[in-house]
Amino acid sequence: MKRREFLATPAGGFAMAATPPSPAIDFRYAPLSYQTAYCYPDDPHKSLVGEHGELRIGHPGSGKPLEYFTSIVEFSASGMETDRVVSQKLESPRTPIVRTVLERSALRIELTTFATNRAGEGRVDNVIAEFRPKGDALRVAPLVRISTRDELATAPPVDGRTEVRKKDGTLFLLSDAPLRIHDSGHGAVLFAPVHAASTERPARLFFRFPQEGQSAERLSRGLGEPDAMLASAREWWTAWRPYGGKVNWSLAGRYQEFLDACARNIQQAREVKNGRKTFQVGPTVYRGLWIVDGNFLLEAARYLGYDEEARQGLEATWAHQRDDGGVFAAVQGPFWKDTGIAMFTMVRQAELSQDWTYFRTMAPNILKAARFLEQARDRSIREGGTNGRYRILPAGLGDGGLAGAKHEFTNTVWALAGLRAVSDAARRLELPGFVSVSKLHDELHEDCLKAARQEMRRHPRGFEFLPMLTRDDPGWSEPDEWNRPRLQVAQWALSHAIYPGLVFAKDDPVVRGHVSLMRACTEEDVPIETGWLPHEGLWTYNAPFVSHVYLWAGRADWASQTFTGFLNHASPLYCWREEMPLRQSAVSNYVGDMPHNWASAECVLYLRHMFALEDGRSLRLLAGLTTTELEQGDRWQLEQTPTRFGRLDLKLTRQGGAWRLEFARDSGDAPGEVVLPRRLAGRFTAGELKGAAHRISGDRVLVEPGARSWSCVWS
């Protein structure tokens, strides 16, 4: 497989050969197998539609394979030809009414899939199927294939409608056409009578799937009103708002489409559990709470204005704290990093809410969590081994391609991010009792840096980098190179430790090596083979992890390019699978849930950070805007977006041949510095700045940090 040429500069910097990829957002790398949720926010019935318009029903959740649905329902017609997918689209990014078009040489099948929840009816999945000839009128015999673990039977049609029931008598399907059933041995095939169809009058059937055990009588009125049912679904979503509170976004082009769709994806996967709204990763195998995914989902929730829901989500995270102080949710065992991540989440949520009440209340729990990490570190030292010799956290589960307990760095670097966040916060709040946390952080940080210096290794392309798996792991010595770990495996945690964790300085060799490694393994515009797919596969939302590192390191061009690559690996319905094959691969497969909402969250986070990036006590504005972004439209606006410095209003507009930024910040601690790019997108130069003192420092404009309102023009 051809790779993009990578260059390592002698000074240890980074460079990439010419021929950058096209900046177009056009789904060029979209998965060829995908599924989309069309249920409601917080809906316990996580209905999905596949890429052929088939319904995927009844996945039992974690512990079963991706494709383990109790029923799959496909819509087709009799005849010799197979159906070809022509298109599948959402009615809009905000409206999950899914339209799938299938074609044969003489026939066009149009499927409209949507959910309803009308008073008196309850939750129902609905499909309108239209069979339209592409030329002259023809006869068509619609059919429905049902692959199911249930034994199905049809009741005698009454008034032209058909009831399909499970063995226990509950209603599975209600249709407005008389259907006859055939047992296929692994499900059922439903045959409809032959219909006359013309271009003006297509054959039209309506199918309803009750989700709450409703009777046929409850659904029968709606059966005769398919257009009214569709209109009610459209009306509900038209009234739905992607944002909460005073938060509002107005972005340009595809960026707004992705933002709205990701807000919807996140709400559709969310669910009420134990009285709290819980942000879940996905609707099937990841239908639950993961601590690390949850950290980024809760941050995205704040950016979208879901403040109360984020508060409940934080409580749900800390409800998983054990008696020994460790915080573990979906992943148990030696996953030490989750405790540090929960600590990091606690601080970030307090910063964004500007309310430290819960942090103060939970101080004993936080100290207990820190003590858990200290005891783990001490146990590592006593037990010896590589990690013990380095005086870092014990051998643990790396995740992201590292299975089982191994000598590795992911647990330590993420724990350092949590310890640093808590230590800094306690110092600012002058809370007593946190000296031990600072001491643990400083010791672990010093020992981790020493270990990193010893574990750095040389890449075949000539640069030094830190693998997450220590050099004495037997996997590196596998006789068959195919079975050896990839050099870039599990670097996800190092990305996070760099940003937002701020564990390393920008000029640290670990950072330089990580950036070089990510550039070296870039294919299809994103880093590849960084996770569970070691050969010719990619972890979709690992790309925005790396985009954030590039952005923080001052490489907006690489950040934009990689984020665009991430968007282009979404399905045309604006969602992602966790991992997927490269287009040319004949060995890789699909991994994880879909829609995967850590991916949705990362999309939201990067879109915000393009405009406002919190870098410690520095507030960097417009740091992610390149020509690619500015060419999408003339107006960008974020209202009441939360930061650790209070809420911001940002309005960027094109005015002739210039760009104007209007800035406002409400109450909150002033940042240490406010930074603007002297040259916006490399083409426009900062000129007039009104309302605040400022000075030029190299390629930066430094604005008076305490100023609450000002404007700047680039021309």
Which structural domain, as residue segments, surrounds residue 660?
A: 618-714
pLDDT of residue 274: 87
Residue showing tokens 């990829």 = 21
Q: Are 395 and 412 in contact (CB under 8 A)?
A: no
Total tally of structural domains belonging to the chain: 3
Burial class (CB in 10 A: 0-12, 13-18, 19+), 507: exposed
Burial zone of 351 (CB within 10 Å; 0-12 exposed, 13-18 middle, 19+ buried): buried
pLDDT at position 11 over 50: no
Summarize pLDDT for 400-446 with one digit per residue, the tens: 999 999 999 999 999 999 999 999 999 999 999 999 999 999 999 99
What CATH number did the domain enclosing 322 receive?
1.50.10.10
Answer whether 509's CB lies under 8 Å from 14's CB.
no
Phi-psi region of 265 (alpha: psi -120 to 50; beta: other; left: phi over 0): alpha
Q: What is the pTM of this model?
A: 0.95
* Residues 218, 269 share a domain: no
* Per-residue pLDDT reduced to its tens digit, 692-703: 999 999 999 999
Tell which residue, 548, 706, 547, has the closest CA to residue 614: 548
Nearest to 149 by CA among 163, 168, 130, 131: 168
- Is residue 24 one of the residues assigned to a domain? no
For 337-366, write each residue's pLDDT tens digit.
999 999 999 999 999 999 999 999 999 999
pLDDT higher than 90, residue 88: yes
Q: Is the pLDDT of residue 16 over 90?
A: no
Same domain flag for 447 and 544: yes
Token pair, residue 142, equals 């619609």
Predicted pLDDT at 3: 39
Q: Is 711 left (phi over 0), alpha (psi -120 to 50) or beta?
A: beta
Among 214, 239, 264, which residue terminates a domain? 239
Cis-peptide into 595, omega within 30 deg? yes
For residues 215 and 344, state if they share a domain: no
Instruction: Kindly state whether residue 22 falls inside one of the protein's structural domains.
Output: no
Question: Are 601 and 297 within 8 A, CB to CB?
Answer: yes
pLDDT band at 333 (very low <50, low <70, confident <90, very high): confident
142-148, strands of its sheet edge to edge: 35-37, 48-50, 55-57, 71-77, 142-148, 187-191, 180-183
Same domain, 231 and 260: no
Q: Does 591 have pLDDT greater than 90? A: yes
In a shared domain, residues 643 and 666: yes
Average pLDDT over residues 262-269: 97
Q: Is residue 119 part of a domain?
A: yes
In a domain, 10, yes or no: no
- Specify the length of the chain in residues: 715
**pLDDT score, position 20:** 52
448 and 596 both lie in a single domain: yes
Terminal-residue alpha carbon distance, the chain? 44
Which two structure tokens, joined as six digits, stand for 116? Answer: 């309803």
**Average pLDDT over the chain, rounded to whole?**
94
- pLDDT tens-digit series, residues 17-41: 334 556 799 999 999 999 999 999 9
pLDDT of residue 22: 61
Beta carbons within 10 angstroms of residue 82's beta carbon:
8
Tokens 């509002």 found at: 248
The Cα 179–Cα 173 span in angstroms is 11
Across 369-512, the runs of DSSP E, i.e. the strands, are 396-399, 402-406, 457-458, 464-465
- What's at 56, amino acid-wise? R
Percent of the chain with pLDDT over 70: 97
**What is the per-residue DSSP string for 65-77?**
-TT--SEEEEEEE
DSSP state of 475: G
H-state helical runs in 136-224: 216-223
- Where among 590, 615, 640 does a domain terminate? 615
Residue 370 CA to residue 446 CA, distance in Å, equals 17
pLDDT digits (tens, 9 = 90+) for 220-257: 999 999 999 999 999 999 999 999 999 999 999 999 99
In the prediction, which pLDDT does 158 show? 83
Are residues 487 and 462 part of one domain?
A: yes
Q: In this model, does residue 14 exceed pLDDT 50?
A: no
| Residues 584 and 623 grouped into a single domain | no
Strands 195-197 and 187-191: unpaired
What mean pLDDT do residues 120-130 have?
A: 97
Q: What is the pLDDT of residues 30-83, one digit of tens each?
A: 999 999 999 999 999 999 999 999 999 999 998 888 989 999 999 999 999 999
Q: Residue 658: pLDDT above 60?
A: yes
